Amino acid sequence: MNIAIIGATGNVGRKILEVLEFKKLSIDNLYLVASSKSIGQKINFRGKELEVFNLETFDFSNVQICFFSAGGKISQEYAIKAAKYSVVIDNSSFFRMDPEVPLIVPEVNSQDLKNYKKKNIIANGNCSVIPLVVALKPLHDLYQINRIVASTYQSVSGAGRAPMDELLSQTKDFFEKKELKSKFFTKQIAFNAIPHIDSFLKGGYTKEEQKMHDEVKKILDKKIKVTSTSVRIPVLVSHAISVNVEFKRKHNLEEIKTVLNSSPGCKVVDEHNDGGYITPVEAENKYETFISRIRNDSSNINSINLWIVSDNLLKGAALNAVEIAEILMKDL
């Protein structure tokens, strides 16, 4: 099996490399591909130094699975070309709502993978949507979800490597009493919270929030009502979600905890005492989606509150993509 990673030098591309190495998948040739700025770089994989190829001249004809992790513009331009020869697993938002492209989270809707041959492209979900639907799928099966109210608290790594550097430099400048300069965020990110990710749409939602609404419906159930607020926080890695879930049927809290703890990809850490929950720092470099603060909503019947945390570069991106590839490799 020959595999290519487009955007191999970026945050998600490097995480895909880590996951491929950890899972020990059978790979004959691995091609690392990036922009011309990265030509000549070498990255270690399984004890070998692999050279980075130029995307503009890369030959896709010898590749069976191609991961795209270089942003929507690159996917728009090159994914269709790659899909003539290989199955594309795209981490950008560009193809997610295309009706002919399956949007896959293996624990939730792997049965939809059968539809990938229409365009030879599979879309990977949004980095907050993936852990949300992983946690909510078993609850939807039990009680049928009517409505979701979610607030996401997203780390700066979701915006890329340079925004991570901006958080670090602003933090340093703060303690040195220097002026804090913002290039990648609309406000100071250090010691702050910014309720704005991506551009604004009519009605006041942002694109990031609309992605959550649309993707939850496509992956989980189009009948579910969804509203959300997306917030960028001064954390390097891992996203957190505070979510209120309203069911159509009466629920049992202990059953919810038991089912979540036994569901694929989920881990419940929910002790009602100091530190009996998971935070973004603890979720970094972990494969699980963590669920804490499980409790009944005292203001509304048939409703609960949850706190969900996951490494956005792993389950929110690279891990989910590789798990899709694992399923494909059984059939290719």
Q: Which residue's entry shows tokens 């036994």? A: 262
Spacing of C-alpha 135 from chain mean position: 14
pLDDT of residue 331: 79
User: Distances in Å between the alpha carbon of 74 and those of 1, 163, 328?
Assistant: 24, 19, 23
Query: Would you say residue 136 lies in a domain?
Result: yes
Q: Are residues 134 and 238 in the same domain?
A: yes
How sure is the predictor about 40, in pLDDT bands with cuts at 50, 70 and 90? confident
Tell me the average pLDDT across 7-25. Answer: 95
Q: Are residues 86 and 54 in the same domain?
A: yes
Q: Are residues 151 and 96 in the same domain?
A: no
- What's the first-to-final CA gap in the chain, in angstroms? 9
Query: Total domain count for the chain?
Result: 2
Coil, strand or helix at 123: strand
Residue 24 pLDDT exceeds 90: no
**222: which residues sit within 8 A by CB, 6+ positions away?**
none
Query: Would you say residue 108 lies in a domain?
Result: yes
How sure is the predictor about 39, in pLDDT bands with cuts at 50, 70 and 90? confident
Residue 332 pLDDT exceeds 80: no
Q: Do 137 and 129 touch, CB atoms closer than 8 A?
A: no
- Distance of alpha carbon 205 from alpha carbon 186, whole angstroms: 16
Q: Are residues 146 and 293 in the same domain?
A: yes
105, two tokens: 């989270």
Q: Which residue's entry shows tokens 């895909």? A: 16
What is the side-by-side strand order in the sheet with 87-90? 42-45, 48-54, 29-34, 2-6, 65-68, 87-90, 121-124, 103-104
Query: Would you say residue 170 lies in a domain?
Result: no
Q: Which residue's entry shows tokens 């694992």? A: 326
Q: Are residues 198 and 65 in the same domain?
A: no
Q: Are residues 144 and 261 in the same domain?
A: yes
Spacing of C-alpha 202 from chain mean position: 25
Spacing of C-alpha 161 from chain mean position: 16
Query: Would you say residue 184 lies in a domain?
Result: no
Q: Are residues 99 and 137 in the same domain?
A: no
Alpha-helical (H) ranges within 262-318 are 280-283
Q: Are residues 138 and 252 in the same domain?
A: yes
- Distance of alpha carbon 167 from alpha carbon 189, whole angstroms: 6
Query: Would you say residue 135 lies in a domain?
Result: yes
Q: Which of 127, 120, 25, 111 is nearest to 69 (CA)?
A: 127
Average pLDDT taken over every residue of the chain: 97
Q: What is the pLDDT of residues 73-111, one digit of tens each?
A: 999 999 999 999 999 999 999 999 999 999 999 999 999
Spacing of C-alpha 88 from chain mean position: 17
Q: What is the pLDDT of residues 52-68, one digit of tens each?
A: 999 999 999 999 999 99
Q: In this structure, are strands 87-90 and 65-68 parallel, antiparallel, or unpaired?
A: parallel
Note down the domain range covering 54: 2-125+317-329
User: Distances in Å between the alpha carbon of 181 and those of 172, 198, 261, 287?
Assistant: 12, 19, 44, 34
Query: Would you say residue 266 lies in a domain?
Result: yes
Q: Are residues 73 and 135 in the same domain?
A: no
Active site residues: 127, 239
- Distance of alpha carbon 240 from alpha carbon 141, whole angstroms: 23
Query: Would you say residue 166 lies in a domain?
Result: no
Query: Would you say residue 167 lies in a domain?
Result: no
Spacing of C-alpha 103 from chain mean position: 12
Please indicate, yes or no, whether the overall pTM of this predicted structure exceeds 0.95. Answer: yes
CATH code, 58: 3.40.50.720
Q: Are residues 114 and 247 in the same domain?
A: no
Q: Are residues 31 and 117 in the same domain?
A: yes
pLDDT of residue 199: 97
Q: What is the pLDDT of residues 114-163, one digit of tens each?
A: 999 999 999 999 999 999 999 999 999 999 999 999 999 999 999 999 99
DSSP for residue 285: T
Residue 232 pLDDT exceeds 80: yes
CATH code, 257: 3.30.360.10
Q: Are residues 119 and 240 in the same domain?
A: no
